[in-house]
Chain A
C-alpha cells in the first residue's frame, strides 16, 4: 500500500528526509517513532501527497506521489497537528461538509459520528465548545466519512489528557478492526502498548530500525 524508497524531501535547502525507505501493507498499524525534528511529520506528509521527493520515489496505493498527487490525496486521510475544523460550525456540520465533498450520505455522517463517540449532544454543539479530545475525534470522523483507506496521523495523542488518549486508542483499535491501515507518528511510545503496532524508528531523516519481521532497513550499520 505504501512504498517509499530512498526519498529525499527538501524544505528549502534542508533535507527533512534524507533517504527514507518505508513499506506498509494493508491492515498494518505502524508507529513512526523518533525525536523531534527526525522527519516523522515529513514522512507522513510524503505519504499523504502533500510534499514530493526531490530524490527517490514514493508510491501510495500504487500511485506515484509526485505524478498523481490529487489521486493519492483523495484516498488517504491525513491528520496533522491542527484538526482542520471550522470552529463556528457544529460537529455534525463539520463532518457533513467532508461528507458532501465526497458525496457521502447523511447516514454515513451519523455512522461516522457514532464510531467516534460523538453522536448525541456532542454532535450539535459548535466545535469551539468541544474538548480537545472531542475535536481530535471529530477530525477523525472527517477521515472516516471520506472512506479513506489509509490513515496518516501526526501525533494524534498530543495535547490530550489520559482519558482522552485512552478513548483515542479505542477508536484506533476499532478502526483497525474495520480494515483501516494506520500509520501514526509519536515521540512517546509508552502509551501505545495495547495497539501492538509495528514500530519504525526515524532519525535525522532516515529510517534506522523497523520491528516488522523481515523488513528492510536502510542498510545503516547497527
Chain B
C-alpha cells in the first residue's frame, strides 16, 4: 500500500507550483506578444505562419505527455513501492496530453487550410498525432472503469506500455506509406518556412512556456488524484468500523 502524504493547506498548490505557474504565465505572455506582433510574417504564408507558435510547441508537448505516461507506467509496473503514485502521474499526464494533442490537430488542420486550402493532409506527423489522440482517448476511457486504484494502475499501465510499442509502429507505417506518394514533400506546412533568429527564439520560448504549463497541470492533476485515492482509503477505514459494529449488534 502506498502512503499518501498531504500538506495541511486546502488546495493542491505549493510554493513550487506557484513559482512554476508564474513562470508559465510570463513565458506564455511573451510568446503571445512576440508571436502575434513582434515576429515578422512569412514571405509566402504571410500571417498564417503565426499558427506555428502554437502548433509546434503543442505537438512537442503531446509527445512529451506520451513519453511521460509511458515512463511513469513502466515504473508503476516494475516497482511495487509507490507504484500507485506513478500511475497517477501517468493518468494526469495523459489527460493533459490529450488536450495538447487536440490542440495540435486543430491548429495543424487550420494551418493546412490557410496555406494549402485543405483541412487535412496525410502527413506523418499529423496522422500519427491523430492515432495518438485516439489511443489516449481509449486509455482514459479504460482508466475510468476500475473500482480500485490497484486494478486501475495495472490495467492502464499495461495499456500505456502497449501504446509505447504501437505508436512508433504506426508512425513508421504512415511514413513509409506517404513516401510512396510524391506529394508528401510538398504538403509539409512547416517545411517551407524560413526561420530567422527572432522566430526561432519565440518558437523555443513557446516550447518552454507550454512545457511549464504542462508540468503545472500535471502536478496539480496528480495531486487531485492522490486526494481522490486517499478519500477512498480513508473511506475504507470508516466503513470497516461501521461493518464490524454491525456484526456485534446482530
Contacts and interface: CB of A to CB of B under 8 A. Distances in A.
B247 A10 contact: no
B247 A205 contact: yes
B236 A204 contact: no
A82 interface: no
A206 to B, nearest CB: 5
Interface size class of A (residues with CB under 8 A): 10 to 19
Contacts of A206: 243-244, 247
A15 B147 contact: no
A8 B243 CA distance: 11
Contacts of A12: 147-148, 232
Nearest to B147: A12
B247 A15 contact: no
Contacts of B239: 13-15
Nearest to A12: B147
Contacts of B246: 203-204
Contact of B147 (A11, A18, A19, A54): A11
Contact of B240 (A18, A203, A221): A18
Contacts of A213: none
B78 interface: no
Contacts of B147: 11-12
Contacts of A221: 248
Contacts of A208: 247
A101 interface: no
Interface in B32-62: none
A214 to B, nearest CB: 22
A205 B232 contact: no
B1 A204 contact: no
B235 interface: yes
Interface size class of B (residues with CB under 8 A): 10 to 19
Given A12-B147, A54-B236, A203 B1 contact: no
A10 B240 CA distance: 9
B250 interface: yes
A86 to B, nearest CB: 26
Given A10-B148, A12-B147, A13-B236, A18 B244 contact: yes
Nearest to A203: B247
A221 B1 CA distance: 31
A13 B235 contact: yes
Contacts of B233: 13
B250 A204 contact: yes
A208 B250 CA distance: 10
Contacts of A54: 1, 236
Interface string B66-101: 000000000000000000000000000000000000
Contacts of B235: 13
B240 A15 contact: yes
A19 B244 CA distance: 8
A15 B233 CA distance: 11
Interface of B: 1, 147-148, 232-233, 235-236, 239-240, 243-244, 246-248, 250
Given A10-B148, A12-B148, A18-B243, 10 more contacts: A8-B240, A10-B236, A11-B148, A13-B233, A13-B235, A13-B239, A15-B236, A15-B239, A18-B244, A204-B243
Interface of A: 8, 10-15, 18-19, 54, 203-206, 208, 220-221
